[in-house]
Structure 1
């Protein structure tokens, strides 16, 4: 399967394309990365070097790929953080062009907006872009629970509330939704869940919650789930594989006390994770 991944890039560490591309390659997909920024490291460090790329640069790269025939067999377009209308428009143009070349292609968007802990950390322009223009064009989205609530104007906490919010967002465009972090008040202590919903049903998986956070884990989860689901069409299987792989990646990173995800060291977890977690159908 050929994937077009339009995301940020860092040289040190793993976020954006620097987190998403290698796991998809490791499970056997041909990935064409298009970078929206080229930074030394993610901005959470407070200082970085590099440059933002313009929407015109992104369009020029996509145009060059198309001239080689490289978009003809793209099955999946993946995007993550979008810094503004300029990049957002370029991504939507790329999605439209890919679907013109291959109508069976799908667009998977990780609508990066914020988290329950930090709140919304993107500019108002980006909030409007994601909610009103990007999400309706996506076939698959992978928000966390906070982002799902922001997009829908809801505040989901329970499983029932989260499912209701997913149903609401599915009415405006995306047929498949992965909620990457579900914190139900009645869940067992020190656990976290992911929820996948399609027109065929809804499935949830629960894993231990490690006492730390590393940037880029959501990028890995979105990339793995999107590519597994596009390959198999089976949301439950894609959810099980994604949860197991991401958990093993996080365990290795936590045990090493690494400031960045150990994506290369944990690469076998993307192909054959050693631990499995029960996926339960909830609807």
Structure 2
């Protein structure tokens, strides 16, 4: 069992952000402490949505209470997800520094945007995250668009993605690029660590609900290898095709037992 602290968005209905990451980890027997950066009724892609960012001062108060109770640093990993403002990024930076000093592994899912729409956070949020938070990550999980935005590089091939990911690395850090350009009707994860690189390829599927990236980042933050995390995620996707939300709970007897995928060295 791993203990994971997650700082990200939360929705009352559906599975994105914390509401995807936490139940997926809990289904595997892990212990999750949740700090919401924004509280919404549901994913903004639905016709109606209500809610707002959680004030930074309120989150700081929650962090203080967790610390006073002796729970804050009793973690194996700290996962950072959606940040609604530069002040929220600054909060994440301060907490990540504290966690790293205590020996806690820092995982950053740089939630910035995706293709074809591009950025869906304010430019200042993206810049602050790139400049201040990304360098603190022990493990970074950008999608292909986010990797390109963070590095300013055009990414159309695996070789270009590998070079861009290598440029983001700190010593001993690792980058897992989701939605990697594997080939026609294929996608997957590109793993770059030091001089080594691997690719885990899967079929590109239609009708996949929101929250897939949140689950993947949570699984690797929980200590799963990229191959096992992607194997379990692929099984969850297969069980959730054309559903309004990921079937994290109802399909748990199957996806939690899925076999790991085998990588190809590149």
TM-score strictly above 0.5: yes
Match of 1:246 among 225, 233, 248: 233
Aligned pairs (5 A) from 1:81-230: 81-100=82-101, 102=102, 104-171=103-170, 175-184=173-182, 187=183, 189-199=184-194, 201-229=196-224
Say whether residues 1:38 and 2:23 are aligned partners. Answer: no
Aligned length: 265
d(CA) in 2 for partners of 1:174 and 1:18?
30
CA displacement at 1:140 relative to structure 2 = 1.2
- Measured against aligned partners, the alpha-carbon deviations of 1:117-137 in whole angstroms (never above 9, x if no partner) come to 111221111111121111112
Task: Name the SS for the 2:45 alignment partner.
Answer: helix
Task: Name the SS for the 2:8 alignment partner.
Answer: strand
d(CA) in 1 for partners of 2:195 and 2:65?
38
d(CA) in 2 for partners of 1:122 and 1:65?
28
CA displacement at 1:199 relative to structure 2 = 2.5
d(CA) in 2 for partners of 1:224 and 1:51?
27
- Is the alpha carbon distance of 1:269 and 1:162 closer, same or farther for their aligned partners in structure 2, counting shifts above 3 Å? farther
Say whether residues 1:267 and 2:252 are aligned partners. Answer: yes
d(CA) in 1 for partners of 2:248 and 2:29?
16
Aligned to 1:57: 58
- Is the alpha carbon distance of 1:20 and 1:269 closer, same or farther for their aligned partners in structure 2, counting shifts above 3 Å? farther
TM-score by length of 2: 0.93
TM-score by length of 1: 0.88
Aligned to 2:262: 278
The answer as to whether partners of 2:209 and 2:244 remain within 8 angstroms in 1 is yes
- Measured against aligned partners, the alpha-carbon deviations of 1:38-93 in whole angstroms (never above 9, x if no partner) come to 11101111421223201111111111111011123212100111111121112222
The answer as to whether partners of 2:113 and 2:121 remain within 8 angstroms in 1 is yes
d(CA) in 2 for partners of 1:278 and 1:98?
32
Structure 1, unaligned runs of 5 or more: 230-237
- Measured against aligned partners, the alpha-carbon deviations of 1:101-146 in whole angstroms (never above 9, x if no partner) come to x2x2111111011112111221111111121111112221100111
